[in-house]
Amino acid sequence: MSSRYELQKLCGKARRGRFRARNGVFETPTFMPVGTKATVKGVDVERLAEIGASVMLVNTYHLWLRPGAERIQKLGGIHAFTAWQGPILSDSGGFQVFSLKGMRSLTEQGVEFRSHLDGSKRFLSPEGSIQVQQTLGVDIAMALDECPASDLSFGDFEKSLDLTFRWAKRSLEARTDPELCVFGITQGGCHRELRSRAAEQISSLPFDGYAIGGLSVGEPKTSMYEVLSYHVDQLPAGHIHYLMGVGTPEDIIEAVSQGVDIFDCVMPTRSGRFGRVFVEGNPPFINIKNAKFAEDTAPIDPGCSCLACRKYTRAYIHHLFKSGEMLGPQLASIHNLAHYLGLMDRIRAAIEDDSFPVLYAMMKKRWASLDFHEMAGS
């Protein structure tokens, strides 16, 4: 199958392109809002389209368990079910299954686990994962990989990597829908030898895209950046590059500078639900629940045109949070997603006019010496 990715412009290693999926074309670099249970928490599809989202991510594990892939298929497929008509990417379910410590058993064939909903036994294989994703009717499916803990030994990482490669081959062989795109995933922790081997192995298979897994899982940020500095270059240049589960705006700009094209992360909506909102300032985020915003008549971010910033003040949104009203987290989530998607617009424009190094330097300066997870509550 020919590559669905079209590279249009380079600025250093940063890439401007587009990807053709069954249900539409999306421009890259891009950010995917995370719709874990077939919904981006607190944000309806009209708002997603309004703020510029072009592709959404759903969670295979959760939808397989409830309401079930067959039921979604019966109801017209994932696009009709969610009312989102653009491209949809689904994860393989592997990350969630491997997070069930003490409730799973791994074999060559796959992984047996107990549902977190009712304790029932389930079995997920590479073939089964692809089948579930095909039944859902997504545009892009992820191959099943083993998601090793970050504290494993080199030998355990090596065994895990070899298993992931064998499962990758089986995932590709399981595809029966020629319009379904399937992405392969590299693992290997922060070990350069294993990351290089993973890239060589996965590149030998005719995937429609290549994803980098196993980062932003507890390792130091400097370690993640070091892996990105060489590993993205090891992936096929004519295909899309996806960094899974990342991250802050700083992480995104850093990864784009190394040639990554697509991202997903729960941070915009999860932060929004706790009142933490991203702004064009220093620091680059505020906690709208802080008392100093109780009489602030400015919008969250004066330069933003999202619903929250067009219609409401910081004081009002502060009041919503303090009153426990659900509209507060919704508006904060809409704003945060708009902030992320606006950043992707700026990145694409900067690559096109060769000003990406300027944008990169500005973003790195804004985030210098800041730790989002430590400061977000301030």
CATH (domain of 11): 3.20.20.105
Q: Which residue, 58, 182, 83, is CA-closest to 130?
A: 182
pLDDT at 371 over 70: no
For 212-239, the pLDDT digits (tens) are: 999 988 889 999 999 999 999 999 999 9
306 and 182 share one domain: no
Indicate the pLDDT class of residue 377, thresholds 50, 70 and 90.
Answer: very low
Domain limits for position 343: 271-375
129 and 277 share one domain: no
* pLDDT of amino acid 375: 45
* pLDDT of amino acid 372: 59
Interhelix angle 192-203/221-231, nearest 10 degrees: 40
Segment 271-287 shows an average pLDDT of 96
105 and 149 share one domain: yes
150 and 224 share one domain: yes
The DSSP string of 227-272 is: HHHHHGGGS-TTSEEEETTB--HHHHHHHHHTT--EEE-SHHHHHH
191 and 309 share one domain: no
Q: Of the candidates 242, 264, 286, which is a domain's last residue?
A: 264
Residues designated as active site: 91, 264
* pLDDT of amino acid 2: 55
Indicate the pLDDT class of residue 205, thresholds 50, 70 and 90.
Answer: very high
276 and 258 share one domain: no
130 and 234 share one domain: yes
Q: What is the pTM of this model?
A: 0.96
Cβ–Cβ under 8 Å, residues 210 and 200: no
* pLDDT of amino acid 31: 98
314 and 231 share one domain: no
253 and 192 share one domain: yes
Q: Of the candidates 213, 245, 264, which is a domain's last residue?
A: 264
Measure the CA–CA gap between 33 and 55, rounded to whole angstroms: 7
94 and 140 share one domain: yes
Q: Of the candidates 243, 264, 285, which is a domain's last residue?
A: 264
208 and 335 share one domain: no
Measure the CA–CA gap between 357 and 346, rounded to whole angstroms: 12
Q: Which residue, 1, 153, 14, 124, is CA-closest to 61?
A: 124
Indicate the pLDDT class of residue 369, thresholds 50, 70 and 90.
Answer: low
- Total domains in the chain come to 2
171 and 205 share one domain: yes
- Cβ-based neighbour number of residue 222 at 10 Å: 8
